[in-house]
Amino acid sequence: MPHPIVEIDELVRLVVDYLVEISPRSVVSFALTCRSLEEPTLSSLWRRQYLLIPLLRVLPQFTKKGRGYVVSGCNSPLGFTPYRFSQMVDNPRPKEWDRFQRFASWMRYLSLDSRVNHVHDIALQRLSNESPGGLLCPNLERLDWEIRTAHTPRSFHIFLSPSLKRVSLFVPEQLQYAGEIVSRLPSSLEHFSLTCSPRKDGEPLKDLMSSFVLRCGPSLRSFGCRPPLSEAAFHYLMQLPNLRSWIAFQPPQAFPPPTFPSLEELHLEPTALPWLHLLAACGQGKRSLAPASTIMNTNVKETLKVLTCPRKTAVDPTLLSSMSSFRNLVSIVVLNRSCHSNCLFDLTDNDVEDLAAGLPSLVDLRLGEACGSATCRTTVSSLLLISTRCLELKFLEIHFNTHHIVGDMERLLNEGTGHGKPRCKLQRLSVGYLLLQVPEFANETLAVGFADIFPCLEVFSSRRGGEAWRRVGAKLQNRLTRGLQPFLHSTAH
């Protein structure tokens, strides 16, 4: 007789969800321990799938031979990476098909990449004919599909379950059926993004995406597509009451002023950065990006919480001034990677202080990967300014000059700057490519300084100069108020 606790599905699923993250193999063994555990355990295991191969292998018609997979009746492997499947020669028996449909019904999230698990259209069509309603995964809620080949199956509709809530598509320029895919998406979608190559950014997809927005608009909570929308569709999108997240691919055009009544997340692609300055200018009488006669009416300054800026964004006072307009931001991410020849970080300690004072609710602040440029004008003083103003901060990525870091840290300690003020809860400090060249005796000074600035620090993340940062981390271990042991997570190769 099973223990009473295994009769509580909620508790079993909590345990299984944890096991799936740390050791998927052990989940199968866990399911075999008791019959009453089988259903909740396997359903959690199959809930999220990043390949189609595991589901296809449920049918014995798909078997492995050497490094590739073959279909019953074929004599030669059909390739490997990407795995390619030909038509099904043998019909599955009823018990085999029931088992296949049972596992398929548990799937809620499926990620497809045509380079890895491309499936022949004939095989998909056979699966569609045998599936109830022609759907492979009838309860699918999320589909991420990277279509990297021109020969995408015409049977793609078998993935378009009516229960779908989130769809993310990457469409190549030569795909023949992109329009058909978009036109057959369910109107109940809440999250949708479409990335395609420039050659497809023409009128056909523009019209299709515009009609899609007008058809699905009321249910949309997040949206982004590279093809531009018609003026009417874009104006409609901006006024959707439930839209929480928007990926902007296109720069502002001659559209009516934005409203975005409930926007919480704004993700900007390279050409769409002017949107940040346009929205920041709302209500300030600035007319550089809008007609002089328009009155901008938007709540985005109050609702926006997450902001992502693209690579090669100049991090300067102008950018920070626009960011500071969104007073409730909790996350700022600038995707700049280190560029030693042309550093895009051009701030001073005063600029950082203004940002921290204007955005005290920040939890995640990433202003681009540090490059260790000798021209950087921010110092460790900027770290203290952030720590004493953004008390909820847990992750920080920022440039600061390390050429005089020992003297700067000694000055902070001697002056007692920020003494008695509460500090942030920062757990991870990214130092990127910052070089740290200090004598051995200076490590103690730096450890004392970092422990004073960030009492909860757990991790230094470095790409270069790792050994020097590791020595400082070792000194810091004994000074953490919460007993946490920081360590250097080096990503250098």
3-state secondary structure 441-464: HHHHHHHHHHHHHCCCCCEEEECC
Two tokens, residue 155: 């049977």
Cβ-based neighbour number of residue 292 at 10 Å: 5
Task: Look at residue 482 in the predicted model and tell me its pLDDT.
Answer: 46
The reply to whether 170 falls in a domain is: no
For 98-140, the pLDDT digits (tens) are 888 899 999 999 988 766 655 666 667 777 777 777 788 899 9
The reply to whether 365 falls in a domain is: yes
**Reported confidence tier of residue 191, pLDDT bands at 50, 70, 90:** very high
Task: Look at residue 108 in the predicted model and tell me its pLDDT.
Answer: 94
- What burial class does residue 96 get, using C-beta atoms within 10 Å of its C-beta: 0-12 exposed, 13-18 middle, 19+ buried? middle
**Reported confidence tier of residue 90, pLDDT bands at 50, 70, 90:** low
Alpha-carbon span 6 to 335, nearest angstrom: 46
Please state the φ and ψ torsions of residue 119, each to the nearest 5 degrees: -115, 135
Alpha-carbon span 230 to 224, nearest angstrom: 14
Yes or no: say if 92 and 56 are a contact pair by the CB < 8 Å rule: no
Residue 4 pLDDT > 90, yes or no?
no
Closest CA to 331 of 363, 287, 285, 376: 363
Task: Look at residue 286 in the predicted model and tell me its pLDDT.
Answer: 43
Task: Look at residue 190 in the predicted model and tell me its pLDDT.
Answer: 93
Q: What share of the chain in percent tops pLDDT 90? A: 26
Any idea what the CATH number is for the domain that residue 407 is in?
3.80.10
Alpha-carbon span 408 to 402, nearest angstrom: 9
**Residue 492 lies in domain:** 336-493
Backbone dihedral region of 230: left (phi > 0), alpha (psi from -120 to 50 degrees) or beta? beta
What value does the mean pLDDT of the chain take?
Answer: 78
Pairing of strands 364-366, 109-113: unpaired
Q: List the beta bridge partners of residue 438.
A: none
Higher-pLDDT residue of 389, 14: 389
Task: Look at residue 328 in the predicted model and tell me its pLDDT.
Answer: 95
Alpha-carbon span 357 to 365, nearest angstrom: 13
Closest CA to 58 of 4, 120, 106: 106
Q: What pTM, to 2 d.p., does this model score?
A: 0.81
Q: Helices (H) and strands (E) in the chain — how many of each?
A: 17, 17
For 11-68, the pLDDT digits (tens) are 777 877 777 777 777 777 777 777 777 788 888 888 888 888 788 888 776 655 544 4
Q: Which helix (H) or strand (E) holds 96?
A: helix 94-106
Beta-carbon contacts of residue 478 (< 8 Å; ≥ 6 apart): none
Cβ-based neighbour number of residue 49 at 10 Å: 21
The reply to whether 492 falls in a domain is: yes
For 276-295, the pLDDT digits (tens) are 998 888 765 444 444 433 44
The reply to whether 177 falls in a domain is: no
Higher-pLDDT residue of 10, 487: 10
Count of domains observed in the chain: 2
Tell me, what amino acid is at 461?
Answer: S
Q: What is the 3-state secondary structure (H, E, C) of 367-392?
A: CCCCCCCCCCECCHHHHHHHHHHCCC
**Reported confidence tier of residue 96, pLDDT bands at 50, 70, 90:** confident
Residue 385 pLDDT > 90, yes or no?
yes
The reply to whether 482 falls in a domain is: yes
**Reported confidence tier of residue 321, pLDDT bands at 50, 70, 90:** very high
The reply to whether 292 falls in a domain is: no
Task: Look at residue 464 in the predicted model and tell me its pLDDT.
Answer: 65
Task: Look at residue 329 in the predicted model and tell me its pLDDT.
Answer: 96
Alpha-carbon span 92 to 21, nearest angstrom: 32
The reply to whether 186 falls in a domain is: no
The reply to whether 197 falls in a domain is: no
Task: Look at residue 128 in the predicted model and tell me its pLDDT.
Answer: 76
Least confident of 37-41, 162-166, 328-332, 448-452: 37-41
Task: Look at residue 492 in the predicted model and tell me its pLDDT.
Answer: 40
